[in-house]
Amino acid sequence: MDFSIYLCRVKMTSKHKKRTMKQSAEIEYEKEETIETANGLRSAWYKLRERLEDWYDLLYIWWYRNEPKRSFDEFMEEENKRRGIEHV
């Protein structure tokens, strides 16, 4: 093989393999996305769980907002009677 033909082939292949900066940035971004997919899913799951717990707490508070209130002393008397403890 002639050396000039080899140089010509090298130039053609390197010319066609060149990437623009934008393409390189997109490829790097895709690599980061695929690497962090598991971590992203995990963090998204935890955020969703926290949000659902908050919504559950708000729903619970709203649902039981009008229940009659008891004092702590009444509650403790009832608990002591239930357990069989008197005059503590």
pLDDT in tens, 12-56: 455 556 667 767 766 666 666 555 677 788 888 999 999 999 999
Residue 7 lies in a domain: no
- According to the model, what pLDDT value does residue 56 have? 96
Residue 72 has pLDDT above 80, yes or no: yes
Q: How far apart are the first and last CA of the chain?
A: 105
In the chain, what's the furthest Cα-to-Cα distance? 109
Domain hosting residue 53, numbered range: 19-83
Number of domains in the chain: 1
**pTM of the entire predicted model:** 0.38
Rounded-to-integer distance, Cα 59 and Cα 75, Å: 24
| Residues 42, 50: Cα–Cα separation, whole Å | 12
In a domain, 55, yes or no: yes
10 part of a folded domain: no
With a cut of 70, say whether residue 2 has pLDDT above it. no
